[in-house]
Amino acid sequence: MERLLRLLKTEWVPTKGYNSFSEAHDAMIRYITGYYSAIRPHWYNGGLTPNDSERRFYIQSNAVASIS
């Protein structure tokens, strides 16, 4: 979580801040769902995005579960 917040501050939050709480909230949601989880690769996922990593895990776990 600390890494996510650090990246949010360095990659996304403007240096002058936001004009309102609502603007900040919307921008952070866009960062997390639109960029961090969907586009930005993560080294601990083997260069995959979190969404791709979860998708592969789901596919693999269903393949194993359906054998029995």
Per-residue model confidence as pLDDT tens digits over 41-62: 777 778 888 888 888 888 888 7
For position 68, what pLDDT does the model report?
54
Q: Provide the whole-model pTM.
A: 0.55
Predicted local distance difference test score (pLDDT) of residue 19: 92
CB 42 within 8 A of CB 52: no
Query: What is the mean predicted confidence (pLDDT) over 8-29?
Result: 86
In whole angstroms, give the CA distance from residue 6 to residue 51.
20
> Which pLDDT score is estimated for 20?
93
Mean pLDDT of the residues in the chain: 80
* Residues recorded for the chain: 68
